[in-house]
Chains A and B, each alone.
Chain A
């Protein structure tokens, strides 16, 4: 009976003691957060109580000249005590950036931290979303440390004030580059080209017409062919041949093919030309032209 009583009382004691050991935890109370614009008095600006169990519903707006001030009293199991670690931890969940600001803690647990935008790293000033502000309180021993989000902090800054870029050199892939080529040369509209080609070609009939108007004729052709048929035929053929050589040079031949051919045709033209032109001279002496 006695033993039974002793056991039950021991169990009761143990069951009473165990939760207190498990519940030994860090926390805080009497916490306020204030965002004070520059020049505003002690009570100016935004001020709100924060609780250790539930974060504030709306994000706090923290602009360039503001001072963010958090005061709280740290506790271990509802009794005020100075912890080893009391931090305000700012964390951006998207980029994974984190930074902590230690509270200045007094012996009685009264803690305070002040923060301006100047103290924030550059990377935090350009974040698109509000960052998570957490209070971290912890100490040595078996007490459970405290780490909860207390509010969201929307860091806003004047976009007109330039800040240095936070870019640091890191090895990684670089943007692709594709060479921009010059435009290909273009031709004028084909209609215009054809019109001018027509005008140029039309010069030939105009020339022929003018000559006919002046009474051009081939009356001496039979006379010439009768007195010197071969030189005339060869001379005209060699002149035409010259143009043929030029045509071949334009389309496919190179200079070393052109030069011998031109020498041969030139010699032929020289010999036959002197005969043919001698015949023409003969006609002039005869008073025919």
Chain B
């Protein structure tokens, strides 16, 4: 009976943990319990995917992201508070500590009311900027919902975003339009490779402060695609921080609303699917990479025995074979990782700086992983080298592998023999002619009789 129960518990735990690759404890910070019912579909979707949801008010004293110095939750979803800040337990420092301890965060903003300065300073830490007065809202007179925002044009209707760049995998694409009511726009700093936009405003969009009648030309800070509606940061420890400009887009109302663009047809929004993609990505259900196995050995035609695998030492100019097995987590399972078209998984053979940087080609596949491999000749430079795979891409967790090996010189008996070098023939011939001459001299010295008449002549 006990055994049965524990097995059942194990199965249950496995089913719960099967979803996110990094834990299922999700803390939702929302202002008042009244707000909670507006997002019931989101909560049930998240619970259906195996998350344990806890709800806390930002003002609550019991709210703490850490317990005994460790994370108390794996993921954090912050809805914009109505009050001024996020309270003493969610200071920017606490939130960043949570991020540094591999916690994932979704921060939703709203253009309805001005954003608190605590959130603004938190975003500044990650080089994401809100408008100066923190109360801007995005409008677009070309892509708005004519049904719900006839007058104010502040419900944007946008297509689901495609890939960020041609060489980046799209995690948020798909059919359908998104309805994004009252978006608080963000602009991104240009110097960090860690932040990337997920959804940008269309080129005709602009942001303005709703308190002002008509924006003065000088007040407009950013326009068009520089305004980000959804942006993401993936820190160096692969923890994810997503900023969603419109919290209302997650409401039940907008998950299945009927909308119509000017001059378009009536359609149903794809917000629910997008919310799934967004939460799945942020909470590490997608875009998570894993290295299963790394092998390197001398290139041979046949099988490589276990003893010859991953040697510690190579010689210069050795033909070397390197392979790496990579998996990607997709919602609830590991699948073979495919490098997006236009991108490459690269192997570096480095000593301080790379001597080789080669594209790894897919050469095989297992049930859960793809085997990438490359073959190359070790450089003609001895020293301590390392095989490095440094695969950092937007929206994919970082892969940084470093395997150190020694590369030695030729041993004294590995050089070609002197008779194989035609330039050495003169010296070899000289040596043996001396030996021959010596033997001849010995014979002559031992057995030659003096030449009598010549001696007489000289005498």
Say yes or no: is B142 at the interface (Cβ < 8 Å to chain A): yes
A138-B141, A177-B354, A197-B425 known; A220+B204 contact, CB < 8 A? no
B356 adjacent to A178 (CB under 8 Å): yes
Chain A, 201-216, CB within 8 A of any chain B CB: 201, 203-204, 207-208, 211, 214-216
Give the contacts of A143-167 with B (CB-CB under 8 A).
144-145, 147
**Assembled-state Cα–Cα distance A197/B455 (Å):** 37
Interface string of A101-114 (1 = CB under 8 A from B): 01111000000010
Stretch in B16-24, B146-154, B270-278 with 4+ CB within 8 Å of A: B146-154
CB distance from B142 to the nearest CB of A (A): 6
Residues of B within 8 A of A288 (CB): 449
Cβ-defined contact, A224 with B446, below 8 A: yes
Nearest chain-B residue to A104 (Cβ)?
A: B217
- Tell me whether B225 and A96 are in contact (CB under 8 A): yes
Contact residues on B (Cβ < 8 Å of other chain), bracket: 35 or more
Binding site for A on B (CB under 8 A): 139, 141-142, 150-153, 165, 167, 190-193, 203-204, 206, 208, 214-215, 217, 220, 223-226, 262, 317, 343-344, 346, 348-349, 354-359, 377, 379-380, 392-394, 421-423, 425-426, 429-430, 433, 435-437, 439-440, 442-444, 446-451, 454
Known: A139-B141, A147-B204. Contact between A169 and B193, CB under 8 A? yes
> A197 touching B426 by the CB < 8 A rule?
yes
Contact of A103 with B449 in the complex, beta carbons under 8 Å: no
Question: B429 near A200 (CB under 8 angstroms)?
Answer: yes
CB within 8 A of A218: which of B357, B447, B454?
B447
A100–B393 CB distance below 8 A: no
Min Cβ gap B222→A in Å is 9
The complex places the Cα of A220 from the Cα of B449 at a distance, in Å, of: 6
CB pair A145–B141 under 8 Å, yes or no, is yes
Q: Is there contact, CB below 8 Å, between A220 and B448?
A: yes
Beta-carbon contact of B449 and A102 below 8 Å:
no
| A142-B356 CB under 8 A given contacts A102-B217, A147-B204 | no
Q: Is A94 part of the binding interface, using a Cβ–Cβ cutoff of 8 Å?
A: no
Residues of A within 8 A of B215 (CB): 84, 102
Establish whether residues A217 and B449, one from each chain, have CB atoms under 8 Å apart when the complex forms. yes
Contact A220 B447 (CB under 8 A): yes
Inter-subunit contact A103/B426 (CB<8 Å): no
Most A-side CB within 10 Å, residue of B224, B346, B359, B451: B224
CA distance A276 to B392 in the complex (A): 84
Q: Which chain A residues numbered 177 to 234 have a C-beta less than 8 Å away from chain B?
A: 177-179, 181-182, 187-188, 190, 193-194, 196-197, 200-201, 203-204, 207-208, 211, 214-221, 224, 232
Q: Which residue of B lies closest to A214 (CB)?
A: B451
Q: How far is the CA of A240 from the CA of B436 in the complex (A)?
A: 10
The total of chain A residues at the interface (CB under 8 A) is: 71
**A102, A204, A218, A239: which contacts B448 (Cβ < 8 A)?**
A218
27 A-B pairs, CB-CB below 8 angstroms? A82-B214, A84-B139, A84-B215, A85-B139, A87-B206, A91-B203, A100-B220, A102-B206, A102-B220, A138-B141, A139-B141, A142-B150, A175-B357, A176-B358, A179-B380, A188-B423, A193-B425, A194-B425, A197-B426, A200-B433, A201-B433, A215-B454, A218-B447, A219-B447, A239-B439, A239-B442, A240-B439
Per the bound structure, the CA–CA distance linking A246 and B204 in Å amounts to: 90
Whether A140 is near chain B, meaning CB under 8 Å from some CB there, is: yes
Q: Tell me the bound Cα distance from A224 to B447 in angstroms.
A: 8
Task: Decide: A197 and B392 in contact? CB cutoff 8 A.
Answer: no
Say how far A169's CB is from chain B's closest CB, in angstroms: 5
Give Cα A61 to B152, complex, Å: 38
Chain A residues with Cβ below 8 Å from B447 are 218-221, 224
Which residues of chain B are within 8 angstroms of A113 by Cβ–Cβ distance?
A: 217
Write out the residue numbers on chain A whose beta carbons fall within 8 Å of the beta carbon of B358. Answer: 176-178
Task: Give the chain B neighbours of A216 by CB distance below 8 A.
Answer: 444, 448
> Which residues of the other chain, A, contact B220 by a CB distance below 8 angstroms?
100, 102
Given contacts A172-B393, A239-B442, 11 further A-B contacts (CB under 8 A): A84-B214, A89-B224, A99-B223, A147-B204, A170-B193, A177-B358, A179-B377, A188-B423, A197-B426, A203-B437, A207-B437
